[in-house]
Amino acid sequence: MNDLEERLRAALDARAGTYGTAPDAYARTVSRARRTRRRRLALIPVAAAVAAVTAVTVLLNAGGGSGAGIATGAVEEPGPYRRSIAENPPVGEPVTVRDPAENRPVIMWFSGGAAPGGHRFCDLVQQATGGTSSGCSKVPPAGHERENAWRLDPFHSRWPRRPVELGYGAARTSVTRVEAVTGDGARIPGTVHRPGGAPLAVWTVSFPADAGVTRFEFLDGDGRVVQRIRQDAPMPPPELAKPPVGPAADLPGGLTARLYTDPERTVVWWRGGEAVGMNLVEPGHLLTDLGGKETPVDLRLHDGLWYGVARAGTARIALVFRDGTSADAVAVADPWDSGVALFSGTYRRPDPYLEGFQLVGYDAAGAEIWHDTVRAVTPVRPEPAPGASGTSEASGAPEASRPAGSPQPTPSRR
Q: Which residues of the chain have pLDDT under 70?
A: 1-78, 114-117, 157, 384-414
Locate the DSSP E strands across 155-200.
164-171, 177-182, 187-189, 191-194
Q: For residue 390, what pLDDT is reported? A: 52
370-411: per-residue pLDDT in tens? 999 999 999 999 875 444 445 556 544 344 433 333 344 555
β-pair type (164-171, 357-362): unpaired
Q: Is 25 helix (H, G, I), strand (E, B) or coil?
A: helix
Q: For residue 394, what pLDDT is reported? A: 54
What is the Cα–Cα distance from 184 to 84, expressed in whole angstroms? 41
What is the Cα–Cα distance from 111 to 308, expressed in whole angstroms? 40
Q: For residue 116, what pLDDT is reported? A: 52
Domain ranges of the chain: 3-235, 238-374
Element holding 279 (H helix, E strand):
strand 274-280
237-276: per-residue pLDDT in tens? 888 889 999 999 999 999 999 999 988 999 999 999 999 9
Q: In what order do the strands lie in the sheet with 177-182?
A: 187-189, 177-182, 213-219, 225-230
- From residue 177, how far is each of 21, 226, 318, 399 by CA, in Å? 22, 10, 48, 14
Q: For residue 160, what pLDDT is reported? A: 84
What is the Cα–Cα distance from 159 to 102, expressed in whole angstroms? 14
Q: Which of 155, 158, 110 is nearest to 277 (CA)?
A: 158
- The dihedral through the CA atoms of 339, 340, 341, 344 has a sign that is negative
Q: For residue 154, what pLDDT is reported? A: 80
| Rg of the chain on CA atoms, in Å | 21
Instruction: Supply the pTM of this predicted model.
Output: 0.77
In eight-state DSSP terms, residue 238 is G
Q: For residue 102, what pLDDT is reported? A: 93
